[in-house]
Structure 1
Amino acid sequence: MPQASLEQVPLLSLAAMAKQDFAAAIGNSFQQFGFAMVKDHGMDAALIDEGWALARAFFALPEEKKRRYDAKANGGQRGYTAFGREIAKGASENDLKEFWHVGRDLPRGNPLAATMPANVWPSEIPRFQPLFRRLYQEFDRVGGQILSAIAIYLGLPESWFDSAIQDGNSILRLLHYPPVSPDAPGIRAGAHEDINLITLLLGAEEGGLELRDRQGNWLPVVPPPGALAINVGDMLQRLTNHRLPSTSHRVVNPPPDRRGVARYSMPFFLHLRPDFLIEPLPQCVDAAHPRRDPPITAHDYLTERLREIGLIKA
């Protein structure tokens, strides 16, 4: 693949670009690649740095301590998922990663609370809970701005997604890919599409993330330090009748000289509210583009997909 093709995945500035220009640019990038890279997003750099430090501290704990917070009981939605447990849909080998999930805190009595497990927090790291609650709010805020741009691109009111994601079951994942041996075969995370609406990812500057383009080529996604890699998930693909595609992506092993280095990343999986009915937007359906997917609630779709990747047992 010529280098010029790799450079077509744009790096956009959320702060420097006019609202309409940003909306057009990110929509076009999503339509072509399912991905975009965004800098100047306004997330607190000091908060992010502390988040990296606390994530490293947690994953450095002895295995028996981490397993006290095992997420098996809640379908992997809150707490710790051990190394090698998750598998990409349709894959034959489990991923080489461990992770921690932080979810939304809903007040007692909220009608959606039954669809979301309560958060759990590691007592060994006192700063963990307040820090990641704040970072969750930052991802939520920036994600809302990105969705406003997508709404504009789709010809919807700028605030269209506000009610759709209010009290949504979004998840902040802290990911650790341990070092691998210099001659290790395979990949760290198998090719997959994300379940949610959009994903906002920090940490992709440590190489390995690749997307599959429309011709079947794998392209590296390596944003500059601090920038976000953002991709379309299956829920947005269904909502737009595949106008904005959910693109397969994977994490490959790094070059041999980097295989002794652990990889850490923070994806924020931005979800619709559980009772939202996902059905194609009218402007995305016509004679040339008939409806491709039946309606389904966000909660039912999430449950279906969690079974497919092994986090909920059928």
Structure 2
Amino acid sequence: MAFHVPQIDISPYVNDGSAEEKAAVAAAVDTACREVGFIQIVGHGIPTDVSAGLASAMDDFFGMDLDAKKQYRTPPSVNRGYAPPKTESLSLSLGVESASRMNDFFEAFNIGDSAGMHPDLDLPKDAYTENVWPDSVPTFEPKVSTYYEQARRVAQTMVDIFEDALGVEEGTLSGLTGHSIDVMRMNNYALPPGEIELDGDLTGMGEHTDYGIVTVLWADQVKGLQVLGTDGGWHDVAPIDGALLINLGDVTARLTNEKWMSTLHRVKPPIVDGTIERRRSAAFFHDGDYDAVVAPLAVCIDEGEHAIYEPITVGEHIAQKLAGSRAGKKNTTAVREAARVGAASS
């Protein structure tokens, strides 16, 4: 079967369509999650000017001198603020060491929900960290925050669709997200434009799975993102006009006993005729509540099957993954994901 990322119009869920329209969307999402794990969604309702505002804010920040950007750097244990190029290795979140031992060639800026947003709960501040905003770019915070709330709405809509697609009661998945660890990572592939000699091991962003329930990705229409297909090969994926890319994370793979799989993906340096093209993306991660315990749902365990995963909290799982990508500590718990990387063709 040829690799294909399906396009799905989710407007019946955004605009309160009929039961029949919603059922068609849910069925299409179920098929996509079982066969690919990536979806192109349209009809998501994010205004064009909001997405454009996000892009311009990213341009303003990443366009600053490196020393100026480094003022907003945080320690590896803090998943906020600026991360310079070559300071992370996402393949280590899977327990996989890159052949070249070369960290990823992207720079990023992270924001997310803080403990202060949930004053009635005693949430750990290391998971719900306060944001670091670049005061040298005064328009950055309002533009990014506006998009962030829209992306959160889309992620919550996708969770509603997932519940219908899996045929579970309302609240089965959304009940895990009352104080979800939500983070948005804005990425800029930071190799200088122009002609450059590259060895085959240079990586824009190493192979990895996302950590939580669902990821909402805005990206330039520039090649670079590659998804691992069921054929064992890597396939280029770029959004069509006006679309967002949706992919599943590890928490959803655990909940569905891998009926739906957290799809491996990576970013290779976008090079055309020896020239590196600039590429930007912003990934909104809807990961679930820190203290939510996740294990395969009964509806996803067929007769004669067993639960692939033991119960674990979202917080424990994410801590293991972040220790790999940000702190350089090989994640020894990602055995199944690492085996998939090992079996993939280059």
The TM-score, its normalising length taken from structure 2, stands at 0.84
Tell me the residue number matched to 2:97.
91
Name which of 75, 80, 90 aligns with 2:82: 80
Deviation at 1:112, TM superposition (A): 1.8
Name which of 187, 198, 220 aligns with 1:184: 198
Query: In the alignment, is the contact (CA less than 8 A) between 1:221 and 1:229 conserved in 2?
Result: no
Tell me the residue number matched to 1:175.
187
Structure 2 residue identity aligned to 1:228: L
Tell me the residue number matched to 2:62.
59
Tell me the residue number matched to 1:13.
9
**Counterparts of 2:25 and 2:196, CA distance in 1:** 41
Deviation at 1:204, TM superposition (A): 4.8
Any stretches of 5+ residues in structure 2 without a counterpart?
331-346
**Counterparts of 1:249 and 1:311, CA distance in 2:** 20
1:110 is aligned to 2:121: yes
Tell me the residue number matched to 2:342.
none
Query: In the alignment, is the contact (CA less than 8 A) between 2:8 and 2:42 conserved in 1?
Result: yes
Name which of 324, 332, 344 aligns with 1:308: 324
**Counterparts of 2:271 and 2:140, CA distance in 1:** 32
Structure 1 residue identity aligned to 2:213: L
Deviation at 1:275, TM superposition (A): 0.6
Query: In the alignment, is the contact (CA less than 8 A) between 1:72 and 1:81 conserved in 2?
Result: no
1:27 is aligned to 2:38: no
**Counterparts of 2:73 and 2:191, CA distance in 1:** 22
1:233 is aligned to 2:249: yes
**Counterparts of 2:69 and 2:112, CA distance in 1:** 18
**Counterparts of 2:189 and 2:86, CA distance in 1:** 10
Deviating more after overlay: 88-97 vs 251-260: 251-260
Deviating more after overlay: 177-186 vs 43-52: 177-186
Tell me the residue number matched to 2:308.
292
Residues 68-112 of structure 1 deviation map (CA, whole Å, 9 limit, x = unaligned): 111216x24111111111102213221110100010142445322
Query: In the alignment, is the contact (CA less than 8 A) between 1:37 and 1:223 conserved in 2?
Result: yes
Tell me the residue number matched to 1:152.
164
**Counterparts of 1:214 and 1:12, CA distance in 2:** 20
Any stretches of 5+ residues in structure 1 without a counterpart?
none
Tell me the residue number matched to 1:246.
262
Structure 2 residue identity aligned to 1:123: D
Deviation at 1:192, TM superposition (A): 1.2
Q: CA RMSD in A?
A: 2.0
Query: In the alignment, is the contact (CA less than 8 A) between 2:253 and 2:259 conserved in 1?
Result: yes
Deviation at 1:268, TM superposition (A): 0.7
Structure 2 residue identity aligned to 1:222: A
Query: In the alignment, is the contact (CA less than 8 A) between 1:148 and 1:160 conserved in 2?
Result: no
> What is the DSSP-based 3-state SS (H/G/I as helix, E as strand, rest coil) of the residue aligned with 1:12?
strand
Query: In the alignment, is the contact (CA less than 8 A) between 2:53 and 2:144 conserved in 1?
Result: no
**Counterparts of 1:312 and 1:123, CA distance in 2:** 29
Deviating more after overlay: 253-262 vs 83-92: 253-262
Aligned residues: 309
**Counterparts of 2:85 and 2:292, CA distance in 1:** 32
**Counterparts of 1:134 and 1:182, CA distance in 2:** 37
Deviating more after overlay: 228-237 vs 278-287: 278-287
